[in-house]
Amino acid sequence: MRAPSAFQTFQLYSLGNEGAVHQLALLDGDGDPTALTLGTEYTSIMAARAGRAELPVVFAGFGITAPSVSYDDYAGLDAKGAAVIVLRHGPPALNGDEELSRHTWIRTKIRNAVEHGARAVLFCNDLSEIARVQNELKLDPEKSEPLLRAELTPDNVEDAVPSVHCRRSVLKAFMGKAGFDLDEVEKSIVADSKPGSRKLGELHISAVVSRARTGRKLRNVLGLIGGKSEVADEAIVLGAHYDHLGRGGWGSLALGANQEIHNGADDNASGTSILIEVARQLAARKKPLKRTVLFIAFSGEELGLIGSKRYVRDPLIPINQTVAMLNLDMVGRLRKDLLTVYGTGTSPMWLPLLEAKSKPLGLEIASRPGGYGPSDHASFYEKGVPVLHFFTGFHPQYHRPTDDAELLNIEGMRRITSLVAELIVEISESTARPVRSRMQGGLTDLSAETLDGVLSGQPARPRPVVLGVAPKESGDGKGLVIESTVPRSPAAQYGLRAGDVIVRVGDSVVTTTRQLHELVRARKHGDTMQLQIRRNGILLELDVKL
């Protein structure tokens, strides 16, 4: 074992920073450049090929070609080899028709621009978005105009052109240098449903796309109580993730929330609090433990088990010397004395041990044998470590700003603390280390009706076709909110996340979990299913192979 450190630091890279537009300048007719600031005056929203380009600029209205309603922003416009400025959303001719609304999607507009020969796309908020900022958000658009913060990847190589979202005020002033009044032209388009596209004099842009990956540092926090015996080189890991959702964003299920703080009292301050208290109790023991106990507060769990995956790739104590991993995630809402424990089938010693230790504490164990699931224990189970995951159940405040401390069952947390501490002592003192059971069967689908069954790891014959999501109806009839995904499932492999909203499967609009379940089960293994999802207000299309 290498010398311990309190922190395991690693870098988190954003997909949006790979092949992103890291430099953007606007050039007027005299060639004088105005450099824009990434993150405040523009954002890069599509991965693109690395390189440098200087391009003439054209205005392409809403960037839409919709033959069924005889609307084409590119009619009579030569966009070949140019950077096109495109307004967000769409003209009235496309309003109210769900099929026509496809033309207003960001990805569709980029593809349409490329098909007309464009080599870059600059998105600009339309007047309806500016009005929303003023009237609904009560913000000054000159100071707080929202910019898209997307991580789009191109469907094909041809679509990989520099694509950015610029402040309207910046582009309006820039276009004015060519005698172009953006407000008046847009009002004319909206009033007449006739495109107002044109070349913008001698205006150019200069863009640099680079693959320099600038990320942010994350830390797993480690603490260790060393064992004292001939098995001191073997370790028991107790883990809990300490990250949550900040002010919301893609993982929040509070639809319509405006930057409200998500405190995460149950998810997962409850788990980290119990982890700290177990560490305190075990450190205070007069008799030393035989096996080493390693306490890990994981970062990046909400982003896809990033911290635990990072740990098992570079463990402080070798994985083959890690005898067990106990995980605490959402353990603050004990109800009717019922504690759900996943992973009970990953070692034959778990069930009798849990029964013996839980009864004196008045806890009833709901046993779930499977070792997989949407929390950090899954990273260890994949590496062959027997696991237990403690969980007191979902609730209406899950991933919402209302998950606050006053709703926690503190007395229940005390009992769970005692149970976990006693289990660790028993595992540490045991002559034999836990043996991993040979689990059979694969993942099954995480529908709202079958969540517990999925995580139980029960074998199914024949093996069903699955997507691997736990969906919840949004309540507004506009899709299904993904609450979690199963590690290694098709959903996880193709980048679906908690907080995404599934809007369509193929040509079918989905509004209920039963619809999704039937659409998935109608497929065969190896079929590709097209999903339309909404993420951060952006509609995306994904092809998922089942």
On the question of pLDDT at 445 being above 50, the answer is no
The pLDDT tens digits of the residues spanning 274-321 come to 999 999 999 999 999 999 999 999 998 887 788 998 899 889 999 999
3-class secondary structure, 226: coil
Percent of the chain with pLDDT over 90: 48
On the question of pLDDT at 137 being above 80, the answer is no
Question: What local confidence, expressed as pLDDT, does residue 258 receive?
Answer: 57
Residue among 532, 490, 483 at smallest CA distance from 508: 532
Rounded Cα distance, 462 and 457, in Å: 14
3-class secondary structure, 54: strand
Tell whether the torsion through CA atoms of 186, 192, 198 and 201 is positive or negative: negative
- How far does Cα 426 stand from its chain's mean position? 37
Distances in whole angstroms, Cα of residue 138 to Cα of each of 135, 170, 362: 5, 21, 52
Rounded Cα distance, 294 and 246, in Å: 27
On the question of pLDDT at 76 being above 60, the answer is yes
On the question of pLDDT at 511 being above 90, the answer is no
Question: What local confidence, expressed as pLDDT, does residue 454 receive?
Answer: 35
Question: Per-residue pLDDT averaged across 339-358, rounded?
Answer: 94
Q: Which domains does the chain have, with CATH numbers?
A: 19-210 (3.50.30.30), 215-429 (3.40.630.10), 451-545 (2.30.42.10)
Q: How confident is the model at residue 254 (pLDDT cuts 50, 70, 90)?
A: low
Question: What local confidence, expressed as pLDDT, does residue 537 receive?
Answer: 60
Q: What is the pTM of this model?
A: 0.54
Q: Which of 111-115, 192-196, 264-268 has the lowest mean pLDDT?
A: 192-196
Question: Per-residue pLDDT averaged across 348-376, rounded?
Answer: 91
CB 255 within 8 A of CB 473: no
- How far does Cα 535 stand from its chain's mean position? 9
